[in-house]
Amino acid sequence: MRAVLVALFILAACGDDIRGNISVSVPDAWKPAVSEMITLTPYPGLSLGDDGDFRITLEVDTSIPAEGYQLRFGTDTVEVFANDVLGAQYGTAAALEHLGFIWRHPYDPLVPFAPRLIGGDDENVHKPEIAVRALHMHTLHPIEAYFAFIEPGPGGKSDAHRIIDWVVKNRGNYVQWAELDDIQRDPERYEKWKPYVQEILEYAHMRGVRVGAYFELFGTSNLQNAFDLYDDKTKNLHDSIAERLPLLTKDLPFDAYDITYGEFFNTEPQQFIDATNEVVAQLHELAPQAETHALVHVGATQRVEYMGRNLLYYFLVQYADPSIIPDIHSVMYFNLYDPTVGAYQHTDFSEHRQYLLDRVCAGLKTSYHPETAYWVAFDNSLPMYVPLYVYSRWRDLDGIKKDGCGNPLYEHLIFSSGWEWGYWLHDVAALRSSYELPTSYNALIEEAFGEDLGPKAAELVGELVEEQKSSLIFDALSPYLAGREIDIDLGRALDPPIISQPDRITFDQLVAMPSSDVDAFEVNVVSALGAKFSDLDLPDSRWGRELRDGVEIDVNRAWFAVHNYEAVIAHLRGDETAARDAYNLASNDMAGGKTIIARRHADLHDTHGNRITAKTSNHTFYQYGYLNNADTMCFWRRELAQVAAILGNASEPPPGCLY
């Protein structure tokens, strides 16, 4: 639709002498890749050639660093100097940005109605600060990328191409996704999957982009239908790996393979190391061209004794084959430097930070693997708008740059789990800061918002980030805005408990508290929640409306939590009138949230029907799109029903949201 509107505008504008055509002249060696950039940019006035109203000319300059570029500006022209195909594409993307283009959502970039050359004073040589600037798409979740890379269907291949193109336009050079176990269980499914992936690999390599496969080693810790190598105890480890690993290597020229170990469950240290080494040995035989990575997950209570050291279980990777590049993980919107509010029972990720910095300072290839969404019961599945992720991903890179003994981080591998509700901003900012890190995270927001939203919106979102940083991280209020599924409660009750997202005082626990503790909880949590959010005035544009919906849902979610806890506290004090009033306010908050969500889900960037909001059959563990629980407000309904049960006016049990 946007492309049609732009085309109509260009046709109408011709009579008014408004210039809308942009031509790109490119050397033959770079033409296939740059031609794809043009094809996948939904602006009909953009084409190869040299006769546009605005002209971009690409030239080879061997003095430019690898994957770097330089721009030089004329009145209506931009010269792009580069040394390789990625630098040429980055320079072309940057030239188009100076004409008003912004590469926001992979399926929905911002294109100008009337291009004009702006900001033409940047003639610096731009070059990457981090060698590998990577997007991991967590396709174990039913997100947009699952339908593009895992399950071929209408629009699948073209969507995969658009995502790769979007990564390039935002200065990335590597994509990776999680493989699922359907291809190891079903030969017919594998025969459909393999040629599809072969085409994606060929396409990515043509664009200069490396590609990785992400799989699990142990089936015993495989909780989400991941492709795994060893879950049949009737076979020995070597034979099981030898049977399954070729499914990911034969005639599939992946550039990297990432070994992961699931969550929450340990094996014996020596088995962990021996099994990892066996995978590496076989990968060296089957795919000698590829890097081997291994995931260093989080989990504060998963500690082991090995070689006279007490260490986190996943840190055993350092004792395996030294050719392994560790992907050192962090979760949610927390970072390596600030408190983590009990995420995976960590107070902070200082051990992970030190492991990473020790390697960087030693000049060893190291990958940092943070998240830009944590959808299960935590943020975009509620939904919440959390641009706090922009700050945390910038904070990590700024800290590593300052603390890395003058050595650069080798790879920044962001963990993506969906792009709606403004979450595209998290990935755009993280990719671009991997290329050139600005002095402030606010610069990333300003760049992504551009002239159409203007400095006002960027300033308001920056204020929201500061509020979220203060309240969700430093005041430890994040668990009270997150959802809470039945599996979280069951995990917490185990001995030892399994805890992923930050823990909180539940309604049932509040009922069991002494009255003095209830008073303290009211002061320290409930009152603090109510004071942290206020309405923000945003411009009335398409992107402004998305921001408005995000901020408004945050406000509703905060007051919903406040009113639910106020209802329980009033009930405990015997004030049933106040309890009923607070409960009614929570109900109104939920009704308001329903209106906001309906409005947003009627205008998604992904236009492939309702596949990310509805119940749907797919190969992941979750038989619904990642926004289904947001669409049905399942976590809100669950919490309101729990409060109703305590107040004695429940008519039905709280719903479960996991299945």
DSSP states along 247-274 = HHHTT---SEEEEE--SS----HHHHHH
pLDDT for the residue numbered 105: 95
> Residue-wise over 368-396: b if at least 16 C-beta within 10 A, else e?
bbbbbbbbbbbbbbbbbbbbbbbbbbbbb
**Pairing relation of β-strands 69-73 and 125-126?**
antiparallel
Query: Residues in the chain with pLDDT < 70?
Result: 1-19, 154, 264-265, 454, 484-542
Burial (Cβ within 10 Å: 0-12, 13-18, ≥19) of residue 594: middle
Three-class SS string for 203-234? Answer: HHHHCCCEEEEEEEEEHHHCCCCECEEECCCC
Q: CA 563, CA 111: separation in Å to the nearest integer?
A: 42
Token output for 645: 């049960």
Residue type, 543: W
SS3 17: coil
Residue type, 314: Y
Token output for 620: 């992941």
| CB of 237 closer than 8 Å to CB of 273 | no
| CB of 214 closer than 8 Å to CB of 178 | yes
pLDDT for the residue numbered 264: 55
Looking up tokens 């668990």 gives 479
SS3 622: coil
Long-range contacts of 629-634 (CB under 8 A, 24+ apart): 629/377, 629/381, 629/382, 629/483, 629/657, 630/380, 630/381, 630/382, 630/383, 630/421, 630/597, 630/601, 631/597, 631/601, 633/590, 633/593, 633/594, 633/597, 634/483
How many residues are present in the chain?
Answer: 659
Token output for 112: 């100008």
Q: CA 583, CA 565: separation in Å to the nearest integer?
A: 9
Q: Can you give the pTM of this predicted structure?
A: 0.92
Burial (Cβ within 10 Å: 0-12, 13-18, ≥19) of residue 490: exposed
| CB of 384 closer than 8 Å to CB of 338 | no
SS3 423: coil
**Each residue's pLDDT tens digit, 85-139:** 999 999 999 999 999 999 999 999 999 988 999 877 788 999 999 999 999 999 9
Q: CA 560, CA 14: separation in Å to the nearest integer?
A: 52
- Which residues make Cβ contacts (< 8 Å) with residue 412, sequence separation at least 6? 130, 132, 133, 134, 367, 368, 397, 430, 434
- Which among 579, 561, 467 is positioned nearest to 521, based on CA atoms? 561
Residue type, 213: A
CA angle 537-543-549, nearest 5°? 55
Token output for 423: 């979450």
Partners of residue 256 on adjacent β-strands = 212, 291
Q: CA 237, CA 229: separation in Å to the nearest integer?
A: 9
Count of CA atoms in the C-beta half-sphere (13 A) of 369? 22
How far is CA 10 from each of CA 19, 21, 54, 113, 478, rounded to the nearest angstrom? 8, 8, 14, 8, 47
- Which among 258, 186, 183, 272 is positioned nearest to 216, based on CA atoms? 258
